[in-house]
Chains A and B, each alone.
Chain A
């Protein structure tokens, strides 16, 4: 053990040495820069790398996106594209009735919108209920609490592709689920190629993958509720159910709201695990907005980056509203915390 530790520390030192030299070499020209510009110049220096990357790869695309959404054609360079004003938006929003996708000009987009809406509604509700129950259980004095917490957290770290493949393997026709059902005398079900079941599978799998994350945040909130509140209530002979509605839920509300918004933001962008699981199928029954943007922008033969950009801006608008709500809640919580 000690030999291993000393070996690893020796390797660490060997790796760190050149980095240290580099840092020393950088120091000399920087001293000149510091003398010339003062500490403000140094602040600029420290900010520069991050802000440069940030500007080129986040800020610039953010601005360019608006230009894209007002042009047409399938060229990727802006100079090769023709200005069409709000035509892409008009095309996306051109619908006889927003409830019937077949009356829409871009019926695929509206299919994706409807699917995403239903997905967000069901997935977030299920996610919150399951995470809440788990957090409440983990907040009790149970044997091996940190072990159980780890159990529910495990899938959070898995990559969406791995999650998708794990479940594809279980849900396929000859998979584990069908064979277990078969043992109990049920007929095999086409979990991934039936419209209803594929949709349900997408929801279940994404809840499975993300519930540990939300459980953890809710658990942190539960643990922050002062114990004496419960002790006082117990002395007054309050029933546990009433304690939940009168103490736990109101005290947890700030955390719960953050969790709900965060879950909404993530659910709106659902893509990877469902894409690996079902590929958006069967038909368009599990096609969601991000996949629509990806396919219209890159994958399809009739690619139309302008249309994809317009769709992404509409999706972005929803996300911005959700984030603003979240920040507002966060600020209110902070104020409340400061008052207490």
Chain B
């Protein structure tokens, strides 16, 4: 054992532990708990029944009281470990509870009812995942509709973003024309005006073109992203012009050059933009909140916020729906994280 500890704490170059090592590992382990803990807690809590969620202090795992069918009773009864008046401890089924008195029967011999103070009984519990938290919102709420809306917005917005941004980036990287710098400047300029500043006028534009309260009104203002155009343009600048010249020699049209040569070669940059776009659009909140007023058009984020803001918050459903909302982003994190970190480190994109 002590040798194992020596092995684990051995340092490179035979040096001992320095206080900075202690600090570093405290920071890292603390970070692990603080960064993952809250999300993990959310997932754990999402499998708890409403009664369990109301418990204080809460348990780590979701539990449910065990139940048993007892002869002579229609419904299954909850099992308790009770301290009986004669001093023995026994597993009993609860028939009913009146005030602080619990009426229990022996599930084996259900004839005689024993009265016990509720302080003298402990529920028999086992780990149980309340999956109905997940299934019920799909059946009884508009949750499925919200999910569909979110998927629609995310997919369509990403496709349009990829197409229009790559076309613009192609023009801005491979053509010489008057006003090119002006267009570039215009795009840089809009990096400065975020959506939160344009809220009021954008709303009126959306209303004027008849897109208020429609998913297209959510999609269109977000697709002409200056960051996307820039990312793709920087990448396309590295594609050699000789390829295009050779294709022109072979009588390829400009559209074919874009579609057959530039797009496939720019695939890595397109992939990065696609990942970002999916995360952005999936997570959008403020703009959909402004544009959508009919409930059946809400995206997941807006719908979740609405449910969480209701007077009588049904936490067991909200927690489960939050987990579902989190899933696509967690998948992106697990499988595509390295593209994103490379994108951010390289361009400061987000």
Q: Let me know if A262 and B186 touch, CB within 8 A.
A: no
In the complex, whether A182 has a CB less than 8 A from a CB of chain B is yes
Closest A residue to B308 by CB, please name it.
A165
A324-B194 Cα distance, complex, nearest whole Å:
14
Min Cβ gap A239→B in Å is 12
| Interface 9-residue window, one of A2-10, A215-223, A229-237 | A215-223
B147 at the binding interface (Cβ < 8 Å) = no
- Chain A's nearest CB lies how many Å from the CB of B305? 5
Judged by a CB distance under 8 angstroms, whether A114 is at the interface is no
User: Which of B163, B283, B309, B337 makes the CB contact (< 8 A) with A153?
Assistant: B337
- How far apart are the CA atoms of A297 and B168 in the complex, in Å? 33
Q: Which A residues are in CB contact (< 8 Å) with B193?
A: 58, 62, 316, 319-320
* B279-306 interface bits toward A, Cβ cutoff 8 Å, 1 = contact, 0 = none: 1001101100110000000000100110
A149 shortest CB reach to chain B, Å: 7
CA distance A78 to B203 in the complex (A): 12
A contact face: mostly helix, strand, loop, or mixed:
helix
Nearest-Cβ distance from residue A136 to partner chain B, whole angstroms: 9
Binds B, one of A117-125, A195-203, A246-254, A304-312: A304-312
Contacts of A294 in B (CB 8 A): 199, 286, 289-290
Given A46-B168, A151-B32, A166-B39, are A174 and B194 also a contact pair (CB < 8 Å)?
no
Check: B319 CB closer than 8 A to any chain A CB.
yes
Number of B positions contacting A (CB below 8 A): 95
Compute how far the CA of A77 lies from the CA of B209 in the bound complex, rounded to whole angstroms: 12
The A-contacting residues of B in range 147-206, CB under 8 angstroms, are 163-165, 167-168, 170-172, 175, 177-178, 180, 183, 186-188, 190-194, 196-206
Q: With A61-B198, A64-B204, A294-B286 given, is the CB distance from A179 to B256 under 8 Å?
A: no
User: Roughly how many angstroms separate A291 CA and B327 CA in the complex, as a whole number?
Assistant: 28
Contact with B along A130-152 (1 / 0, CB 8 A): 00011001001110000011111
Which residue of the partner chain, among A53, A63, A155, contacts B220 with CB atoms under 8 Å?
A: A53
Query: On chain A, which size bracket covers the interface?
Result: 35 or more
Checking B164, B170, B319 against A53 with a beta-carbon cut-off of 8 angstroms, the contacting residue is: B164
Q: Is A101 an interface residue (CB 8 A)?
A: no
Residue pair A64, B201 in contact (C-beta under 8 Å) = yes
Cβ < 8 Å to A, chain B residues 254-286:
254-256, 258-259, 279, 282-283, 285-286
Given the contacts A134-B27, A165-B318, A309-B200, A159 and B205 also touching, CB distance less than 8 Å: no
1/0 per position for B311-350, CB-CB distance to A under 8 A?
Answer: 0000100110010011001101100010011001110101
B87 at the interface (CB under 8 A from A): no
Interface flag for B221 (CB, 8 Å) = yes
Tell me if A323 and B290 are in contact (CB < 8 A): no
| A217 vs B340: C-alpha distance when bound (angstroms) | 12
A30 & B290 in contact (Cβ 8 Å cutoff): no
The yes or no answer to B31 lying at the interface (CB within 8 A) is: yes
Tell whether, in the assembled complex, residue A174 and residue B56 are in contact, meaning their CB atoms are under 8 Å apart.
yes
Q: Do A40 and B204 touch across chains, with their CB atoms under 8 A apart? A: no
Docked-complex contact A320 and B192, CB < 8 angstroms:
yes
Residue in A closest to B282 when the chains form the complex, CB atoms:
A159
In the bound complex, residues from chain B placing their C-beta under 8 Å from that of A276 are 305, 308
Contact among A151, A162, A166, A315 with B197 in the assembled complex (CB-CB below 8 Å):
A315
| Cβ contact within 8 Å between A140 and B24 | yes
Q: Does A313 contact B (CB under 8 A)?
A: yes
Q: Mark A271-298, 1 if CB is under 8 A from B, else 0.
A: 1100010010000000000100110011
Contact present for B208 and A77 (CB under 8 Å): yes
Question: What is the distance, in angstroms, from B12's C-beta to the closest C-beta of chain A?
Answer: 8
Does the CB pair B38–A50 fall under 8 Å?
A: no
- Contacting residue for B200 out of A134, A312, A320, CB 8 A: A312
When the two chains form their complex, are residues B196 and A271 in contact, meaning their CB atoms are under 8 A apart?
yes
In the complex, the answer to whether A316 meets B197 with C-beta atoms within 8 Å is yes
**Residue from the list A50, A63, A212 in contact with B167, Cβ < 8 A:** A50
Chain B residues contacting A312 (CB-CB under 8 Å) are: 196-200
B135 within 8 A of A: no
Task: Determine if A151 and B204 form an interchain contact, defined as CB atoms under 8 angstroms apart.
Answer: no
Indicate if A258 sits at the interface (CB-CB under 8 A). Answer: yes
Cα distance A212–B35 when bound, in Å? 10
Assess whether A166 is in contact with B322, with CB atoms less than 8 Å apart. yes
Query: Which residues of B lie under 8 Å from residue A43 when comparing CB positions?
Result: 171, 175, 177, 180
User: Is B42 on the interface with A (CB-CB < 8 A)?
Assistant: yes
- A65 contacts B201, CB within 8 Å? yes
B253: interface (CB < 8 Å):
yes
**A333 to B223 alpha-carbon distance, docked (Å):** 30
B57 within 8 A of partner (CB):
yes
**How far does the alpha carbon of A174 sit from the alpha carbon of B48 in the complex, in Å?**
15
Q: What's the minimum C-beta distance from A120 to chain B, rounded to whole angstroms?
A: 14
Question: Which A residues are in CB contact (< 8 Å) with B223?
Answer: 53
Q: Is B111 an interface residue (CB 8 A)?
A: no
Q: Is A31 an interface residue (CB 8 A)?
A: yes
Q: Does A98 touch B at the CB level, under 8 Å?
A: no
Q: How close is B346's CB to chain A, nearest CB, in angstroms? A: 8
- Nearest chain-A residue to B180 (Cβ)? A43
Tell whether A169 pairs with B220 under 8 Å between CB atoms, given A65-B198, A158-B329, A213-B350: no
CA of A57 to CA of B254, assembled, Å: 28
Within 8 Å of chain B (Cβ to Cβ): is A328?
A: no
A150 and B337 form a contact (CB under 8 A): yes
A191 interface residue per 8 A CB criterion: no
A158 to B322, CA, bound (A): 11
A142–B203 touching, CB < 8 Å: no
17 CB contacts below 8 A, A to B, read A30-B253, A39-B175, A42-B254, A46-B167, A49-B164, A53-B221, A154-B39, A157-B329, A158-B39, A160-B285, A160-B301, A165-B42, A165-B322, A166-B39, A170-B41, A220-B346, A269-B196
| Supplied contacts A153-B337, A297-B203, 7 more A-B pairs, CB within 8 Å | A61-B205, A179-B56, A271-B286, A294-B199, A298-B199, A305-B203, A315-B196
